[in-house]
Chain A
Amino acid sequence: MTDSIRQFFANRKLRDYATAYAFVLPALAIYVFFVVYPFFYTIYLSLTKWDGAKPVKEFVGFLNYEKLFADPRLWSALSHNFIWIILGTVTPVAIGLFLGVLLWRGVRGMVFFRTVYFLPVVLAPVAVGIIWKWMYNPQFGPINSTLRAVGLDVLAKGWLGDPYLALPAIILAGVWGYFGFCFVVIMAGLQNIDMEQIDAALVDGANGAQRLWYIIIPGLRHVLTMITAFTLILGVNVFDIIWITTRGGPGRATHVIATYTYNTAFRESYVGYGSALAIVMGLVSLVLSFIFISIRERGGD
């Protein structure tokens, strides 16, 4: 026995392999136990009916998935994710691009503007939610108070209590907290744009819009795809800011897939059904991330 161990370690190649695995093994063990195993466990739970307390998990096959397709709450939650993805991606990326183009050739006070625009990005989504919950406060919130102060009392309303306004209102808060991120990434991309091309275009008499459309945007292609995909995935997973501001209300007007899943599995204790929702969300996110990573691996060079 000891001979074979000694032989094993005498073999240089095997010893190198053993060292190499030792580098990877600790991370692998934690990852397998706390990410991979729970993922398959979610799939199993999604095939059961369970309240989280009973000793027996009743196996029901695909029943949860059948219910899920007929569940209007799921479709409404997904449609809110969809709105969030569209507005919550286009707006901050557009603002970031706009400010980037205004600033990229160096402006007095450049550092000041960058510092300010990035400031909300360091805040937790929870803090962003709480700040904006106060901004939208119907009674004394700054938005309504300002409207009243300038005599526009009719426009003052309970922003987060209105089923049509609540979602756009939270998206605005999200944009406030996020556009600085897009701005900084786009600024980094702008540094790689060929100035000679711009100068040549100026000599040829190209106007600002033409320079933007024919030189700047194509030059930023990779950066823009990457940041769009990145923002999109955040939109699929959005939870914190919605839970802080409205908890999915009023009614179900701001529920998204993550809040619906959390609510179903942990507050209403439909663990099986909640797991089926989690799998749906996982699939959506998986497909989008897969596209994101393949772009990322291909692009950039």
Chain B
Amino acid sequence: MESHVGASYQVTRRPRRPMGFWIAKGAQYSLLILFAVFVLVPFMWVIFTALKSNLEIAQDPLGLPPNWRLENLAQAWNQGKFSRYFINSVIVTVPIVILVVSLSCLAGYGLARLKMPGRMLIFYFFLVGLMVPFTAIMIPLFYILRDIGVLGTYWAMILPQTAISLPFGIFFMRAFFSGLPYDLTDAAKIDGCNDFGVFRRVMLPLAGPAIAALVVFNFMGSWNAFLLPLIYLQSDKLRPIMTGMMFFTTRWGPDYSMSMAGTLIVMAPIMAVYLVFQRQFIQGLTAGAVRG
């Protein structure tokens, strides 16, 4: 009886892992956790600091907030005019994303699939724009925007941000449309679609994932843009969230509790969206480095 149980135990038992395996496993996890801590600790201290009073910060800068003062957030929101800044960011970002994505789809499709003289020349002409840094055009752009009378309006950010985002958008969408099979377009043409019809009814519906990546990429690009609004949207009424946040933390400099509360307000929504749409975020943000 006893020996029988022992034998069956012998058969089903998992192979013994050598000691070295567990040491390696332990080292692996320690390192992974170490880097996770390196990432998370600054976030933790931003949250802690934001929810303390300045006196509590001075008494214990490292510990948990003794009172979790959520009212700090409300106070920063009101005193920092964050609602204004958020609205401004939305007002400039939405048209930029719509313009960049629709113009890039059109031009990318045209350059990938339609015959026209000088097609490659136009494509390379756009490609050069991928290599021109914003700094190389920012100075005269200020005077151009002033002369056409848009300085002091949201267009002073919408137009240049759209323009500098187009080369990548076109490059990206052209690569995508080039990869679609030609049978589809031919079939639609036989059914009597014209070029625009093929684009709108056949190609665009297939481009969903590519468009989503481009939307995330450009949304983040213009939401996070800093130098461009710093130069062209100087009026406090027009200021988007990034430059607004800079002026807020400068103004409240030594008031650490207020400036961290402001920072938390700005960070929280984007992080919440990231945690929900993680895959789309990662795809969209790495679109620039990974082949589209």
Contact = CB atoms under 8 A, between A and B. Distances in A.
B61 interface: yes
B136 A16 contact: no
A37 to B, nearest CB: 7
A278 interface: yes
A257 B137 CA distance: 14
Interface stretch (B10-18, B75-83, B109-117): B109-117
B36 interface: yes
Contacts of B61: 140-142, 145
Interface string B95-127: 000010001101101110011110100100011
Contacts of B29: 107
A34 B141 contact: yes
Contacts of A243: 226-227, 230
Interface in A33-54: 33-39, 41-42, 44-45, 52
Give the interface size class of chain B: 35 or more
B245 A115 contact: no
Contact of B246 (A146, A244, A258): A244
A124 B110 contact: no
A122 B271 contact: yes
Contacts of B282: 114, 118, 184
Interface string A166-198: 000000000010001100110010000000000
A5 interface: no
Given A31-B166, A113-B36, A239 B45 contact: no
A216 interface: no
Contact of B286 (A38, A137, A185): A185
Contacts of A285: 131-133, 136
Nearest to B164: A35
B91 interface: no
Interface in B58-99: 58, 61-62, 99
A206 interface: no
B235 to A, nearest CB: 15
A180 B270 contact: no
B132 A35 contact: yes
Contact of B106 (A27, A121, A188, A282): A27
Contacts of A134: 45-46, 49, 256, 259-260, 263
B192 interface: no
Interface stretch (A61-69, A72-80, A157-165, A289-297): A289-297
Give the interface size class of chain A: 35 or more
B226 A240 contact: yes
Interface in A3-57: 16-17, 19-21, 23-24, 26-28, 30-31, 33-39, 41-42, 44-45, 52
B266 interface: yes
B140 A142 contact: no
B140 A45 contact: yes
A126 B43 CA distance: 15
Given A102-B28, A124-B226, A293 B131 contact: yes
Given A41-B144, A130-B245, A116 B107 contact: no
Given A122-B285, A230-B289, A244-B246, A35 B28 contact: no
Interface stretch (B1-9, B155-163, B178-186, B207-215): B155-163
**Considering the complex of A and B, which 5 residue pairs feature the smallest CB-CB distances, nearest first?**
A23-B110, A282-B136, A34-B163, A41-B140, A124-B224
Interface of B: 28-29, 31-32, 35-36, 38-43, 45-46, 49, 57-58, 61-62, 99, 103-104, 106-107, 109-111, 114-117, 119, 122, 126-127, 129-144, 159-160, 162-164, 166-167, 170, 194-196, 199, 220, 223-224, 226-227, 230-231, 242, 245-246, 249, 256, 259-260, 263, 266-267, 270-271, 274-275, 278, 281-282, 285-286, 288-291
Given A30-B166, A125-B226, 9 more contacts: A35-B164, A115-B278, A123-B271, A124-B270, A127-B263, A130-B249, A134-B260, A145-B61, A262-B135
17 contacts: A17-B116, A21-B116, A26-B106, A27-B104, A28-B107, A31-B126, A34-B164, A134-B49, A140-B61, A145-B62, A185-B286, A226-B289, A239-B226, A240-B227, A261-B135, A266-B231, A282-B133
Interface of A: 16-17, 19-21, 23-24, 26-28, 30-31, 33-39, 41-42, 44-45, 52, 95, 98-99, 102-103, 107, 109, 112-127, 130-135, 137, 140-142, 145-146, 149, 176, 180-181, 184-185, 188, 226-227, 230, 236-237, 239-240, 243-244, 257-258, 261-262, 265-266, 271, 274-275, 278-279, 281-282, 285-286, 289-290, 293, 296, 300
